[in-house]
Every structure is written in C-alpha cells, then in structure tokens.
Amino acid sequence: MLDNNEEDLERLAELCLSTAKQIKQHLASTGQPQMSFDQNGPPFFPHATSPLDIQLARLDLRAAAKRLYDLVSGPDEVVAYNTYNITHDLNAFHYVNHYSIASAVPLDSSISYSALATALSLDTKQLRQMLRQLIQIHVFHEPTPNEVAHTASSKLLITHSGVAAFNAYISRDVFPMAVKQVEALEHFGHGNQHPHEAGLNFACGTDLPMYAYYESPGQSGVRGRFSQLMTYVSSFPAMDKEHAAHGFAWDALPADSVVVDIAGNVGHCSIQIARTNPSVRIIVQDLPKIVARATDPATSVIPPELRDRFTFQEHDFYAPQPVKHAAVYFLRMIMHDYSDAYCLKILRRIVPSMAPSSRIVIMDQVSPPVGVVPSAIERMMRTQDLQMMLLTNARERDAAEWQELIAGVVVDDDGDGNESVDDQVLSTKTTRKLEIKNIVSPQGSTMSLIEVGFVDDVVPVANGVSDTSAE
C-alpha cells in the first residue's frame, strides 16, 4: 500500500509506472483487453478474474496518480477549481439524466449537437455546453468538431441499468439534498438523531423517514432509481453476500440452532449462512409486503434444497423480538441506516429474547482510522458516511463508536427471569449489558461481522433514566 506520507513526485511517478506495467502485463497475459475510453472497450475493470496482487496494484496506481495530480495542481486548485469542477460535473449529469440525452446519442456513430438538440427539443448551445463539461472526464467525446459520440462511460448510462440508476440518483436526487444539508442542520438542530429530520427531509419538504418517503405516492421515480442502484451496489465483490458466511463460526453452532435474520429481506444473505451449517434453521423477518414476496413461489430466492429450513415472519424491529433464545440474531446493513438512539431501540427489543449464550451478529462497516486502508477505499467509506448523515441522520461507525453503542444497550432484570426493555430503568432492578466479543473483517469485504454477547457480570442499576431520545 502507498505510504500515506509519500509526497516525492519522482517516487510517486515511479510507482505509477511500475503498477501500470504490472496491470498491463496481467491483462495481456490473460487475454483480456486493455482498459480504454473507447465505447467498445471494457465497461468494468476485471475484478473477479484478477488476483489479489493485481487488485492491490490497481489501488496503489489510483492512489499514487491522484496524489501526484493533487500535488502538481497545488493547494489552491484542490480547494478552488476542484470543487468548481465537481459542482458542474453534477450540474451536467443532472441535465443529461433529466433529458435522457445518453439514449439519444447513437451507439457506434456520432451525431451533431444541432441534430441531437432538435431531436430532444433542447437549445443547441446549452446542450453543447453541458456535454463538453462531461467530455473533460471522458463521458462522451467529440470525434470531430461539433459531433458527439459515446465513450465507455457514457455508454453505460444506457446499457447498464445499475450504473445509470446510480448516476441518476446522485445527480437528480442526492445533489439537491446535499446543497440543503447545512440549512437542515440549522433548522432541525446539530446532532439531531431522528431519521425524519435529516437533510433529505428539509430538501424534499417531508416529515417521513427516507424509506417511507420513497414508498409514498408520487415518488416512483426516485424509488426505482434507489432500488436499481442498491441492486447494482450489492453486485460489487466487496459487498458480495458470500461474505456473510465468513467472519463468524456459523458451522460451529449446535444442531437445530436458530438464526434470526432481522430485516433480512427475501433471505438472500441467509442462504449463505444456511450452507455453512446443514442443521441450522433460519427465520427471516421483515415487513409484510417483503415477506409476501419472499414466500411467493414465483419470487422466492431460496433454493429448493434449503426451503424446509427457512421460515419467514412478519416483524417490525422496533417491536419486541418474538423469537426466544435463538442462537444468533443477525443484522446485516441495518445499523448504518440509523443514529445511535434508534440503533439502541432496535437492540433493546432483541435483548430480552436472548438466552445467556445467544449472540447478536451485526454485519456492517467498521470505519478504519484515517490513512490505514487504500485511499480509493477510504474515499468511498467517507462518502458513504456523509450519505447516511444526509439521508437519515445516521453514520458509519469506527470500532470505538461500535463499542460505545453496544455498551449503551442496558436491559433490566427483575430476578424472575423475565427481562424487559422499558426505557425507565428502576433502581430496584439489576441490569444485563452487552459487549463486543469479536470483530472479523472477511478478506475482500468492506464490511465486518461484529459478534455481540452478554457481559458476564450482573451489576446494580443506579437511579436514573436510560436514553429515551429516540422515543
């Protein structure tokens, strides 16, 4: 990995050259085409067929090239022209998406700006202004003056629904929200933890949390874009559902153990868990319409040979957990959608149902310290962190923040074996607390599996009231 403190121009250039040669030789030796901006070039870097050393070389090349570019640009351009350019890249992408321009540019040939503008009922000069902005980042190109054609990137806007949805969602939906982020903080208050008082809510004029808003009447466009981009993101190797099978000893669970996949959608991740242990039983919980889709033979994703081990159950994770004494309560990509106050509510509804040996396994991002992971990966993580803040007042957490969150889950026990999650914790009760037992990051995954169980000690409860900020 590139030294985080490396600033020597020659050494950075040498690293760019050596890693570029390594990647070029790998592609040539394996019979794969070289990366190109040409519209008929590879649409994606071949992650799946690239060995680890090539993937690491690619990360180093990206980091070194970006740092070299920033150094020779100078500090002023990084904070001035960089933001200027990015702003109008998004401006142009918004225009392109709104008027479906990519689909009007023919494949394998060019079209004049005037003909394209006429076909779309747009102004020729404005159209040319917008597309020439994107040409600077290799999205579209001018093979001859005043003629526009596709590049590999612009072609994806019409040939790959996931890439197109991602780009459209960011430029059409997220960009206008981000512009209102500071106003939202001023309006709703700094440190606000409610998911219905986030940047999205201020920008869109709604008091509904994100998911409810996207499901509301009139939001079919953004709902479709969001759904498609999530399908696309889930296809990334780093987000592969197979990672759910690693990082926790599923195969060591006793025979007939029950795993509860909370908000597990149609069970796609639980399939991987079920395959690690032939005797484990899976209960997938989600909202009624998702359960209906999961149990419909026409839309079920559970392989026939596993179906007798799967049960689907309607459940809202803010309600008390109905499955008692499961071996594992599994939450994948749930906690990063919510602030600490709401995560505490979710966890407190699980704890009373746990047996002493039960585990909560949280599969989510554990953010690294600055400069520890390759910069391309860290950049994505930091952007995702701000995205969660914008949409739901949530965030990605580092290890210390996960520890703090789990330590805040306090459940009282009145001594008769019946625990409760009442927010008012009485001084006559004792409490049971949770702790993180282990954190494992499967190789190639951007997420970790956080194993949570009871602290062995039972301690008296002091007078006071537990966190009720989410009530």
Active-site residues, by number, are: 336
Residue 169 DSSP label: I
Q: How far apart are CA 447 and CA 336, in angstroms?
A: 11
Beta bridge partners of 361: 330, 451
- Strand runs (DSSP E) across 375-464, as ranges? 397-398, 410-413, 419-420, 430-440, 448-454, 459-460
Which residues have CB under 8 Å from 323's CB, separation 6+?
A: 258, 260, 283, 285, 313, 329, 353
Sign of torsion over alpha carbons 207, 212, 217, 222 = positive
Q: How far apart are CA 135 and CA 113, in angstroms?
A: 13
Q: How far apart are CA 12 and CA 326, in angstroms?
A: 53
Please, what is the Cα angle at 67 between 62 and 71, to 5 degrees? Answer: 155
Q: Between the CA atoms of 327, 333, 339 and 344, what dihedral angle is there, to the nearest 10 degrees? A: -10
Looking up tokens 């202004």, which residue turns up?
129
User: CB of 60 within 8 A of CB of 15?
Assistant: yes
Q: How far apart are CA 223 and CA 16, in angstroms?
A: 41
CA 133, chain centre distance (Å): 28
Q: What count of Cα atoms within 13 Å lies in the side-chain half-sphere of residue 25?
A: 9
Pair of tokens at residue 18 = 């050596």
